[in-house]
Amino acid sequence: MRLFTNSKLGKICLQFGALLLLGVWLIGIHGCITPQIASPLPQSPWGEIYAFTYHLPSDAVIAKPGSVPVTIAVVNPSYKEEDSALGTPLFAKVGKGLSNSMGTDLDKILIAKGVTTTGPFPSLSEITYSEKKDAALTLAPKVFITTEIKKINVPRQIYNSVPPRMEQDFKMSITGWMVFIMQEPLSGEKMWIKKLELEPVTMEGTIANECVPNYGNDGCGGNMVIGYSVGNILYDGRADAMASALKQMYPVVLAQFQKYIDTDEMIQLKEKGKEIRALKVY
Instruction: Tell me the pLDDT tens digit for each residue of 221-258.
Output: 777 777 677 778 889 999 999 999 999 999 999 999 99
The CB density around residue 249, as the number of other CB atoms within 10 Å, is: 22
| Domain boundaries, position 46 | 2-280
CATH of the domain at 14: 3.30.160.180
Mean pLDDT of 77-89: 93
pTM for this model (two decimals): 0.80
d(CA 274, CA 280): 10
Q: What is the pLDDT of residue 259?
A: 95
pLDDT of 24 > 70? The answer is: no
User: Is 8 buried (19+), middle (13-18) or exposed (0-12) by CB count in 10 A?
Assistant: exposed
**Given pLDDT bands bounded at 50, 70 and 90, which one contains residue 32?**
very low
Mean pLDDT of 266-278: 93
pLDDT of 165 > 80? The answer is: yes
Rounded to the nearest 5 percent, the helix, strand and coil shares of the chain are 35, 35, 30
Please tell me which of 17-21, 48-52, 71-75, 275-279 the model is most confident about, judged by mean pLDDT: 71-75
d(CA 105, CA 243): 17
Strands (E), 55-189: 68-75, 115-121, 137-139, 142-151, 156-158, 165-183
pLDDT of 113 > 70? The answer is: yes
CB 266 within 8 Å of CB 138: no
User: Is 220 buried (19+), middle (13-18) or exposed (0-12) by CB count in 10 A?
Assistant: exposed
Give the total number of structural domains in the chain.
Answer: 1
pLDDT of 16 > 70? The answer is: no
d(CA 266, CA 194): 14
d(CA 52, CA 79): 15
